[in-house]
Structure formats: structure tokens, C-alpha cells
A and B are shown apart, each in its own frame.
Chain A
């Protein structure tokens, strides 16, 4: 048995790096300590349904083939294409992403990553308004006010609260959670004894759990406070100090209204987004009164009415708050390396996603050069998908058009995308079988580890891309002669 410490988890943007992988004597993973359910599921089951060989579609059927044949076919599809789309990128390493950009440039295509259907609007919001942010440790050390807005880490980023926010301890900000937990455990055992004695002595005894200490918005305790703003009461909201229910599709109005209040202005209306203005004034006082506040937000803002303008408004709100106190904001990135995909794209081409290289230089215009829009207009004549599953996630109008054209899929598993593909190349699992680098949601780069050997004959994403690139260059040289 072997224990490998400090393993980074290749699942979500929280990118925990304290996972301990336990291997049995056959070097199989048998335990993923500290991992949440999603992380454990990946480490324990990654290999269960993996595609075993490269596949090529012949006469409508997917048949096994060699790596060389699959690469040759993939390269040919890309070279012949007049406007290929290379999409995905978020579930693989930066090293692979770097080759990806080079490949997209060589074939004159569009390279876009999953930001385009996730936090792309956040990027657009940043491009309009900037962003006041920090690494997650700053929140752990200093934040006494945490707001999760349109984000439900309990489901999507399970260890986020315990590692960085509500349940964590920092240099300047202790959490009462640990105290609360030990108090609770103490009470639980008291309760047990009490219940036993009740049953024996038939006495009525009621223990109240940890009561609220004073008013909900008291500034006197050093407790970290958490507020959840959402359209429905989530489990994160249950664990928070305060839950504000916002009318669906009205976050933008709410954020703008808060900006007026933060700047000591007045509103002509009595309520915004279903929340009375008095409550908003209280919320404003809490935000201004904190020492350091952080607003985390999710797809509830990026993918609802207003999209990037919701983010524009949220960023502007936190920027306005900086006139009064220290306030930060951060998007809760989904895939573990979507941040890395944006970063690699930005340093290589200047733009973070939706980069059109078809005219020989990078061009960027989401709505015009973004994957979903290109597909809905049926402009791409070949699609290359890696480390992502667009057919499962894109609007039907887009997926329908993916199916119409040659499709190359680099994916270790069977997915709706691979089921439509003409060429499938299964890679190794980055972060389990292959090393690399990835970026946490707060832009901190960490190493992806190799904890087990990949099966014989499997190449990594990076190697597959390098081979395709090489083949593409050979084919183009041949075409020119």
C-alpha cells in the first residue's frame, strides 16, 4: 500500500491540492482521502468505462483502429476544413492547451474553450469593468463577510467553504465553525446523556442548539458571516447566516440598486427583485461595515437574463464598495483548468477564448467568434473537441450542426459527443496518469500529478495534439508541392 500526499484534484475550480491517494499493492487507487464526492468518484472510477482504443467511423460504424490511422484522419479533416472549430480545453493541462493554440493557428481555425458557455460572460464583464479580486487565501485570512450570489458551492464546489470561506480559519479571521462544531459535539453527548436520563427519570429537558448571538448583523463579534443570494433556498443557504431570495431574472436590477445605496443614494421604488428596499439598506450596511467582504458568484448570474451585464454590475458594485471598505469578487469557475485554458489562450493570442485564427492573426468577438454562435449559424465545416462534451451541453441548434460535419473527439470516455464522432482518440487522464499544470479559480497555478501509470499504448492529450500538429504540417507541405 502506498499513500501519495498533496495530490491535486482534477475536477472542479476549487482545485484542492491536499488529496491523499492511497494505492493498493497493484498500484490501483483504492482511496482518495479528503476528496469530496466528485473527486472521489473521479479517482476511484476514472478507468471503469474508458474507451480502450482509437476509433474511426467506417460505413456509419465506429471501428477500432491504430493511433497512426486516427491521427492521419484527424489531420486530414482539419487540413481540408475551411473554418474548423477546436473546442473544449478545460479538462486538460496547460501543456496540452499550448499545443492546441499552435494547432488552431496552423489550421486556420477558431479555438474556444468551455468559458463560452460558463463564465465567458464573467470575462466580458471584466473587460467592461475590471475586477477587484485576490487569491483564495486572502479570503481565508481576512474575510468577515462572505456572499455567495447565484452560486451553490454545496453542490458544485463542495470543499470551497471548508478550505477558503465559511468553515475555514485564517490569520486575522477565525471561524466560529470549529468552535461551533466542538460545542455541538459537546452538546450532542450531553443530549445523549440527558435523553437517557429523561427516559429513566422522565424529565422534560430541551436543549437549544447554538443560538444566534445578538442581532443578525452585529458588528461586535469576530465571526465570519455568510450571506447567500439565490432564486431558491439551496443547501448552501441553509448553512449561511442569511438568505435573500431574489426574483428570477432580476439580479441585474438588484445589483444596480445596491450600487445606488452604497453611494448613499435613494431609490424611487419600494422593492427591487422582490426584496424590500429596507432589507437592501440593511444589506448595504452589512457590506459597508465589514472589514473585508468577498462576493462569489456562479452561473446563476452568467447564464440568466443580462448575462455579462449581471457581472458588469456585480463587479461595479464591489468596485464602488472599495470606496468604503475592502471588497473583492470572484467567479466560481467550473472545470479545474478552465482558468488555465483562458490564461494560455490569452498569453499566446492576446484573447482568453473565442479566438478566430482563420485570417492568419488572432481576432476576438464573442457572439461572432464563439463556438455556440458559429455552430448555430452552421459556419464550421469541421469540429475538433477535446476535454469537453459539447453535444451534451450545447443548445440543440448547435449540437445538431456538430453532427452534420466531420467530428474529431479526444476524450477518454464515451459521451454524447464521442457517439457522434468520426475519429476518437482516447488519451490518458491528466492529473491521474499524466503530469501537467493547471490553474485554480483564483489564478494560482499548481502541478497536476501522476499517481498511476496509464495503460500500455495510451498517449496524453499533449502528445496526441503534437502528433496531429506534425501530421497537419506534413500534409500541408505535400499540398503545396
Chain B
């Protein structure tokens, strides 16, 4: 297990694309210390920014442990395909971007774009996360295509933007546009949603188990479901099930908690 401890408080953006098990695993400690990392516009080595030590790990998996505040460090776990990263603190933007395997756990918060374009693997964030979880890069339609992101706290806006597969589970609240442009996959929100969930979605499943500010007028009501299955678990409802986004000829399914959203009872007149 390699342990990284920040040597000081970081003020400038740190490009941490080299902090992944794939890159560390084949290298000696000396080589890891020499790995390139950018601090603002200055090229540095990992060892200049972090104290790095090698300890035995309880796990079979190649492990990187980061102890301290790395909220300025971006792209931790970039394209990793194996092993695990444990962040004991806050992590920066683009956590686990394009990862295709392995696991990342963060005890604190994570920035925006966590799990962006990921293909496989797991990211678990105990605190809050930013916007664009599992999203596509700007201009692209290829968001997250597999894997799992679990956020225990709240997440921001446009969670799962252009998502194509996989699961995003948010135990806290989300902002607006959860699942925007979704192509497939599942988003589950236990807390509240600030609204416009599923906007412009083509397919996929969004479950809002808490209060939602609104439901897009371009969604049509299907039926009331007693329970919904998410990640092998049965979530108790009842839920209103909507289909949409009709403006995009979408067949996505939006489940909205009935008891937490009494204002939606006006839709019941459309059900036989």
C-alpha cells in the first residue's frame, strides 16, 4: 500500500492523472516519487507535493491511501482499471474519471465530475459530491457506461448527464436536472430533488424517493407502482411512474414517491 500525505495546503489546481494503481503498481517507490504532477503552471514531482511511504496492506488489491485534504487534486484514479484508492479527506474534481475497474472510497467530499465517463468499478463518497457525477465530457454524448457511484451525502446538478449504463445512488439530495440527456442506466435519489429530473432523457430509470420540486410537463403518467427494484434491492413505494422525455421521444422511466409528492395527485385523473 502506498500512502500519500500532502506536504502543505494546496492553493493551485493539481493535475493528479498519475495517481492511479495502474501507474503505481509497476513502479518502485523512487519512481513513484518522481512521477510528474502539475501544480498550476509549474511542473513538479509527486514527492515535492506529498510524503510518500510504502506500507503493508491488509488487502490483496494494490492500494493507494491518501491522508489529508486533496480537494485541489484533480483526476485521482484517472483511467484506473484495478486496485483501490482510499481518500481519507476531501477529493478534487474528476475523481475516477474514465475508470474501468477497481474501487475508490472517499471519507469526505468529492468535487464535480466524479465518475465522469467511467466504464466499470466503484466510487463511494461518504460526504457530498459536486455536479456532473458520471457525466459525459462537454460536447460528447458518451457519459458513464457502467460501474457504480454511491454518494452518502448530497450531490449537485446534472447528475448522470448523458449516462449510458451503470448506477448512481445518492442517499442525500440532488440539484436540478438529475439524469439529463440520460441514455440508459439507473439513478436513485433518496433525499430531495430540486426538479427537472429526467429532462431530455431517451431511456433509463430514475427513482426519486423523496420530495421533488416538480416533474417536467413533458412526462406522461403511466401507473402507480408499489415498489421499485434498484441494485438488487426492493425500494418501498408507492411511486408514480412517468414516461418521458416526450420532447425527445424518450422512453425513460421516472419514479416519483407518491407520499412525498402529494401535489402530483392531480395526475391521477389520467389513470383508469
A residues near B (Cβ < 8 Å) are: 81-84, 107-109, 124, 127-128, 252-253, 256-257, 259-260, 263, 265, 267-269, 272, 305-306, 309, 312-313, 316, 357-359, 364-368, 378-379, 381
Contact = CB atoms under 8 A, between A and B. Distances in A.
Contacts of A359: 15, 38, 41
Interface stretch (B47-55, B78-86, B121-129, B212-220): B212-220
B93 interface: yes
A260 B200 contact: no
B247 interface: yes
Given A379-B12, A381-B11, A309 B199 contact: yes
Given A256-B217, A257-B218, A82 B138 contact: no
Contacts of A109: 41
B217 A305 contact: no
B150 interface: no
Nearest to A255: B247
Contact of A253 (B41, B42, B216, B270): B216
Interface string B157-185: 00000000000000000001100110000
B196 interface: yes
Contact of B139 (A82, A128, A305, A378): A128
Contacts of A108: 40-41
B13 interface: yes
A433 B230 CA distance: 66
Contacts of B176: 305-306
Contact of A268 (B12, B72, B113, B221): B221
Contacts of A306: 176-177, 196
B246 interface: yes
B200 A312 contact: yes
A78 B234 CA distance: 58
A368 B94 CA distance: 10
B120 interface: no
Contact of A83 (B41, B196, B220): B41
A256 B245 contact: yes
Contacts of B223: none
A269 B264 CA distance: 11
B263 interface: no
Given A359-B15, A381-B40, 7 more contacts: A267-B217, A316-B248, A366-B138, A368-B113, A378-B11, A381-B11, A381-B12
A44 to B, nearest CB: 43
Contacts of A378: 11
A253 B217 contact: yes
Interface string B5-28: 000000111010000000000000
B216 A107 contact: no
A365 B138 CA distance: 7
Contacts of A257: 217-218, 247
Given A309-B177, A358-B41, A82 B216 contact: no
A112 to B, nearest CB: 14
Interface band, chain B: 35 or more
Contacts of A256: 199-200, 216-218, 245, 247
Most interface-central of B41, B113, B132, B270 (chain A CB within 10 A):
B41
Nearest to A358: B41
A107 B40 CA distance: 11
B218 A379 contact: no
Interface string B239-272: 0000001111100000000000000000100100
B41 A260 contact: no
A272 B200 contact: no
Contacts of B131: 367
Contacts of B72: 379
B13 A379 contact: yes
Interface in B84-110: 93
A412 to B, nearest CB: 30
A313 to B, nearest CB: 8
Contacts of A107: 41
B145 interface: no
Contacts of A316: 200, 247-248
Contact of A358 (B38, B214, B219, B247): B38
Most interface-central of A109, A256, A366, A381 (chain B CB within 10 A):
A256
B112 interface: yes
B67 interface: no
B112 A364 contact: no
A81 B138 CA distance: 28
A263 B246 CA distance: 9
26 contacts: A81-B41, A82-B39, A83-B12, A83-B13, A124-B138, A127-B138, A256-B216, A256-B217, A256-B247, A257-B218, A260-B218, A260-B246, A263-B249, A267-B218, A267-B246, A268-B267, A272-B217, A306-B196, A309-B200, A316-B200, A359-B41, A365-B113, A366-B138, A367-B131, A379-B12, A379-B40
Given A107-B41, A256-B245, A268 B199 contact: no
Given A305-B176, A306-B196, A379-B13, A82 B41 contact: yes
Contacts of A312: 200
B112 A368 contact: yes
Most interface-central of B15, B74, B220, B245 (chain A CB within 10 A):
B220
A407 to B, nearest CB: 17
B74 to A, nearest CB: 8
Most interface-central of B72, B200, B221 (chain A CB within 10 A):
B200
A367 B247 contact: no
A364 B196 CA distance: 26
A259 to B, nearest CB: 4
Nearest to A320: B247
B244 to A, nearest CB: 9
Contacts of B216: 253, 256
Nearest to B92: A368
Contacts of B132: 367
B52 to A, nearest CB: 22
A271 to B, nearest CB: 9
